[in-house]
Amino acid sequence: MMSKQRSSFFMHIPPLLQLLLLPPILLLFMALMVSALDNYTRADFPADFVFGAGTSAYQVEGAAFEDGRAPNIWDTFVRANKDNYNGATGDIACDEYHKYKEDVQHMVDTGLEAYRFSISWSRLIPSGSGPVNPKGLEYYNNLIDELIMHGIQPHVTLYHMDTPQALEDEYEGWLSRNMVKDFTAYADVCFKEFGDRVLHWTTINEANSLAIGGYDNALSPPGRCSLPFGLVCPKGNSSTEPYIAAHNLLLAHSSVVKLYNKKYKATQHGFVGLNIYAPWFLPYTNTTEDLIATQRAIEFYIGWFLHPLVFGDYPDIIKKNAGTRIPVLTPHESKLVKGSFDFIGLNHYATFYIKDDTSSLKMEIRDINADMGGSIMYEPGDSSQDQDNGSSGLYEVLEYLKKVYANPPTYIHENGQRTVRDGTLNDTERVKYMHAYIGTLLDALKNGVSNTKGYFFWSFLDGFEVLGGYEYAFGLLYVDLNDKQLTRYPKLSAHWYSNFLQGRSIRTNEITEVVNGTFGSSKSQASQ
């Protein structure tokens, strides 16, 4: 049916125009075919549930040395670890700093209801503390206004791996308690300047993987570690620093929540939460050892932050295995941290398998991974990191949060699929991935096992990725880096999401009827 329609459509069009029209038309037809998977629509979700997509400042903004933005630890990290990135940097990235109006238009075309982005601390307050940069203020005001003008909710992350370099140099960033004061003062500026229009604030993105990536295995800024863990680092202590950084992250987060509640909540009526990396874990085999190791992994990844936030202390197993290397939450700190959130942000990509490895607990020098006493495995027989192992892990994470942490309000802040950035727009695998995960989320909502308020796809654009820079892509839109204009091209996944969000999803049994409808309304998209 597809090829028949295409040939009759093409008969009346000159050959050259046919060639130009081919890619968008193909995408439309592919979108229709893939939509045939759907057995749910946007209308099955609550009306106040929000769907969006996300990015972070360093990964898309560019303009790294423009208009008063000062360096942060990302700028330093990519230069110190050129091999990780083939020498690439986020200096220009997607240039969203200059192209934000165009990007908001793409969001409108995709039907996004919300955009999750982060504020670059060193763009707004270049030295980390002290005077505000008027150009930085202007940029975020413009971006927020542009979003609101188009009916797109801004969901703002205050910190996404980018400590101002000045604070890293002065007192080693998250290793110091000084961060609590400076981060709170920075958040105060953001609430004061943007809080009249921004209702959803996330203090810190992936607090747990930041502590591990930044201070244990050195895969992300500030890239600290010590032997025998991680890469070879000039500075660091993988045994202690992840726990210290995590402790200061918790204190800084709760201090910001306290500030918001005291000074802004009554007038701005917004919500403040913390975000964690939340994979799901299954036992590698069904031996008792692997089952217990899997429970440990869940406590080390999810409980590390959620246990203090909900109960005011770290999980017993972490305290036991880390011993004196994990700071004690004093009664005063515990009181501050406990209950300090309106929602929990979850970045969920995949399910992994855990193999017991308690021999690591006998090692004299241990990092957090050794304290966990288990190895993270991908699918048995498949060593690919891109293996997502199905969407049921998302259901299980949400069910776990309900059971153990009293069903907190959550946002799925990131969910997405990594592919090699080869310029293909035909990302059918990504469409299947989105379809499966959004469907699983709907099941979780319908069965009452989750209190999820929104879903954000990672990512809106093919940006500068934490692992691998521009080698890999997660975007709904491809950004052509060989083109000076950095032109954006919607992938099949963007078309699918757009159809879904605009209520044009197709139920298998209604396909003929809806194919006509979708094709009609998609024509205008193709001609834009």
How far is residue 466's CA from residue 159's CA, in Å, rounded to a whole number?
15
**Shortest Å distance, C-beta 393 to ligand NAG:** 13
DSSP string computed for 352-397: EEEEE-GGGGG-SS--HHHHHTEEEE-STT---TT----THHHHHH
Q: Which tokens hold the place of 24?
A: 């968008």
Q: Does 468 engage in binding with ligand NAG (CB under 6 A)?
A: no
CA distance 344 to 228: 33
Catalytic site includes residue 414: yes
Out of 79, 86, 513, 521, the only residue in the binding site for ligand NAG (CB under 6 A) is: 513
Instruction: Identify each DSSP E strand in 445-495 by its residue range.
Output: 452-458, 472-473, 477-479, 488-490
User: What's the min distance (Å) between Cβ of 227 and ligand NAG?
Assistant: 7
Nearest residue (CB) to ligand NAG, 42 versus 348: 42
Q: How many CB atoms lie within 10 A of CB 260?
A: 23
Which one, 105 or 426, has the nearer CB to ligand NAG?
426
- Tell me whether residue 206 is one of the annotated catalytic residues: yes
Distance CA 490, CA 425 (A): 7
Write down the least CB distance from residue 290 to ligand NAG, Å: 8
- Considering beta carbons, is residue 170 or 443 the nearer one to ligand NAG? 443
- Residue 163 or 239: which CB sits closer to ligand NAG? 239
- Residue 378 C-beta: closest distance to ligand NAG, Å: 13
| Residue 163 CA, distance from chain mean position | 18
CB of 130 or CB of 228, closer to ligand NAG? 228
In the structure encoding, which two tokens stand for residue 140, read together? 């975020």
β-pairing verdict for 271-277 and 351-356: unpaired
Residue 39 within binding range of ligand NAG, rule CB under 6 A: yes
Q: Which of 142, 285, 288, 508 binds ligand NAG (CB under 6 A)?
A: 285
Residues 6 or more apart whose CB falls under 8 angstroms from that of 479 comprise 94, 461, 462, 463, 486, 487, 488, 489
- Contact call for residues 463 and 123 (beta carbons, < 8 A): no
Q: Which is nearer to ligand NAG, 60 or 370 (CB)?
A: 370
Alpha-carbon distance of 306 to 339, in angstroms, equals: 10
Residue whose CB is less far from ligand NAG, 482 or 512 = 512
Which residue out of 193, 206, 333, 465 is catalytically annotated?
206
Q: Which is nearer to ligand NAG, 155 or 355 (CB)?
A: 355
Among 516, 521, 523, 526, binds ligand NAG (CB under 6 A): 516
Tokens 């692997």 belong to residue: 290
Cα-flanking dihedrals φ and ψ of residue 376, to 5°?
A: -90, 125
- Which residues ranging from 13 to 32 are in contact with ligand NAG (CB under 6 A)? 26
For the chain, give the number of residues: 528
Q: What does the H/E/C string look like for 314-333?
A: CCHHHHHHHHHHCCCCCHHH
- Between 220 and 440, CB nearer to ligand NAG: 440
Cα(429)–Cα(55) distance, integer angstroms: 21
Of the candidate spans 10-18, 38-46, 248-256, 494-502, the one that interacts with ligand NAG by CB under 6 A turns out to be 38-46
Partnered with residue 54 across adjacent β-strands are 116, 458
**Considering beta carbons, is residue 7 or 267 the nearer one to ligand NAG?**
7
439 binds ligand NAG (CB under 6 A): yes
Contact 121, 159 (CB under 8 A): yes
Cβ 216 vs Cβ 230: under 8 Å: yes
H helix or E strand, kind and range, residue 73: helix 73-80
Verify binding: residue 378, ligand NAG, rule CB under 6 A: no
Segment contacting ligand NAG by CB under 6 A, of 146-154, 197-205, 412-420, 438-446: 438-446
Tokens 């995960």 belong to 437
Cβ 443 to ligand NAG shortest distance, Å: 5
**Contact call for residue 459 and ligand NAG (CB under 6 A):** no
The Cα–Cα gap between 121 and 174 comes to 14
Q: How many of the chain's residues bind ligand NAG (CB under 6 A)?
A: 17
At residue 107, φ and ψ (nearest 5 deg) are: -65, -40
Kindly identify the residues of this chain, within the stretch 232-271, that bind ligand NAG according to CB under 6 A: 237, 239-240
When binding is defined by CB under 6 A, the residue of 358, 426, 451, 525 that contacts ligand NAG is 426
Residues 384-423 as x/- pattern, contact with ligand NAG by CB under 6 A: ----------------------------------------
Which of the ranges 63-71, 75-83, 116-124, 436-444 carries the binding residues for ligand NAG, by CB under 6 A?
436-444
Is residue 383 exposed (0-12), middle (13-18) or buried (19+ Cβ within 10 Å)?
exposed
Catalytic pick among 168, 172, 299, 414: 414
Tell me how far, at minimum, the Cβ of 60 lies from ligand NAG, in Å.
26
**Is position 40 an interface residue for ligand NAG (rule: CB under 6 A)?**
yes
Residue 442 binding ligand NAG, by CB under 6 A: yes
Q: Which helix (H) or strand (E) holds 258?
A: helix 241-259
Residues 180-199 that bind ligand NAG (CB under 6 A): none
In the complex, minimum distance from the CB of residue 323 to ligand NAG, in angstroms, rounded to a whole number: 10
Helix, strand, coil proportions of the chain in percent (round to 5)? Answer: 50, 15, 35
Interface pick for ligand NAG out of 375, 428, 451, 502 (rule CB under 6 A): 428
Which residue in the set 286, 485, 524, 528 belongs to the binding site for ligand NAG (CB under 6 A)?
A: 286
Stretch that binds ligand NAG, among 37-45, 182-190, 195-203, 301-309 (CB under 6 A): 37-45
Q: Which residues bind ligand NAG (CB under 6 A)?
A: 26, 39-40, 44, 226, 237, 239-240, 285-286, 426, 428, 439, 442-443, 513, 516
Q: Please give the positions annotated as active site.
A: 206, 414
